[in-house]
Amino acid sequence: MYTKYGPPEVAELRELDKPVPKENEVLIKVYATTVNRTDCGFRSASYFIIRLFSGLFEPKHQVLGNEFAGEIEAIGQDVTSFKVGDQVFGYNDTTFGAHAEYMTMRETDSLTTMPGNLIHHESAPICEGGHYALCDIRAAKVKGGQDVLVNGATGAIGSAAVQLLKHFGANVTAVCGTKNLALVKSLGADEVIDYLKVDFIKTGKKFDFIYDAVGKSSFGKCKPLLKKHGIYKSTELGKNSENIFLALITPVLGGKRVLFPIPTINKEDVVFLKELVEKGAFKPVVDRQYKLEQIVEAYKYVETGQKIGNVVINLMQ
Ligand SMILES: NC(=O)c1ccc[n+]([C@@H]2O[C@H](COP(=O)([O-])OP(=O)(O)OC[C@H]3O[C@@H](n4cnc5c(N)ncnc54)[C@H](OP(=O)(O)O)[C@@H]3O)[C@@H](O)[C@H]2O)c1
């Protein structure tokens, strides 16, 4: 848990009371969770805007962790859609709480039973990168046959985006570093560009959608690569938060535009991602696994900006 905003070291292990589910809630014994960029954003609150959600001066919810996979240990008296013993996974960026051995959620929240073909540490990382990618791909209304570039194809969002875009029938050009070319190709990318050797801006190809899943480019630089009504989306706010302003202005001007949709997730999205996993169309990439006791190390690694897909915390004894 953390009681103040700051660097990885503000996270510390403490004994807490086991939560008791209300009548419409389930008690989940967490077997696997992740440390991801959303946790880092809420822990550091270095973007002031985050404090509007996380608490102005100190964190409102002191146990982070938004992704989880585990087992239903108890249910409230009104719960009908889950039973004790169900293996579940999901996402909670409202009250968080997955960096603990137990958490509660309402049965109607963003959780469902685990895909039959994955185990806990593979199911926990389905939702964070998966739902950001899904929101952005839906906002861009990507259709089969469109040309899409994904920059940062080895992040949690980028590696999910490549797989989801292939599922929606797009032609995907993915940008990543030398050591991960084969991995990104295995995710389904049609073409892979090594950013350490080639600047994708200079490749000359045109795209319907440029998805900068690691927030390292800008609309200005990517504009020449966009087709006439092409769309640019970055996962970062950009210089002086320009992507927010551009998302307000460019759609009014017509032509090439920037999107900055507010990410959302609900139970239907979690079920949709589960179905993709069961069809073999999506599998989250798992990088390092840590124990809960090593969570500060996990935060430090995630903040190197070098993780490949997802960093998992394993709580199974
Ligand atoms: N504030 C929030 O709440 C929040 C939430 C979610 C995501 N985000 C933002 O979304 C972005 C993606 O997050 P993520 O968790 O999916 O991934 P991530 O962990 O930030 O991405 C790491 C990957 O990006 C690659 N990479 C780094 N620089 C690159 C470059 N110039 N070109 C291409 N690839 C590059 C790295 O590969 P190499 O090691 O090979 O370079 C690494 O595999 C981040 O910018 C993050 O801050 C923010």
Instruction: State pLDDT tens for residues 48-67.
Output: 889 999 999 999 999 999 99
Among 37, 51, 239, the mutation site with the greatest number of ligand 1 atoms within 8 A of its Cβ is 37
Residue 317 has pLDDT above 70, yes or no: no
Residue 311 bridge partners (DSSP): 35
Mean pLDDT of the chain: 97
Residue 268's pLDDT is 98
C-beta 157 within 6 A of ligand 1: yes
Q: For 142-182, how does the pLDDT look when each residue is reduced to its tens digit (9 = 90+)?
A: 999 999 999 999 999 999 999 999 999 999 999 999 999 99
244 CA distance to ligand 1 middle (Å): 19
Residue 219's pLDDT is 98
User: If you take atom 17 of ligand 1, which residue's CA is the nearest one?
Assistant: 155
* 203: confidence class by pLDDT, cuts 50, 70, 90: confident
15 CA distance to ligand 1 middle (Å): 32
Instruction: Read off the pLDDT of each residue in 248-259 and give the average, rounded to a whole number.
Output: 96
Instruction: Read off the pLDDT of each residue in 121-132 and give the average, rounded to a whole number.
Output: 98
CA distance 94 to 31: 20
C-beta 176 within 6 A of ligand 1: yes
* 280: confidence class by pLDDT, cuts 50, 70, 90: very high
C-beta 129 within 6 A of ligand 1: yes
Spatial contact of 230 and 141, defined as CB atoms under 8 Å apart = no
Over pLDDT 90: what percentage of the chain? 97
C-beta 98 within 6 A of ligand 1: no
Structure tokens at 2: 């953390």
Query: Pick from 118, 173, 168, 116: which is nearest to 150 by CA?
Result: 173
C-beta 235 within 6 A of ligand 1: yes
Asked whether the whole model's pTM tops 0.85, one would answer yes
CA distance 63 to 314: 16
Residue 116's pLDDT is 96
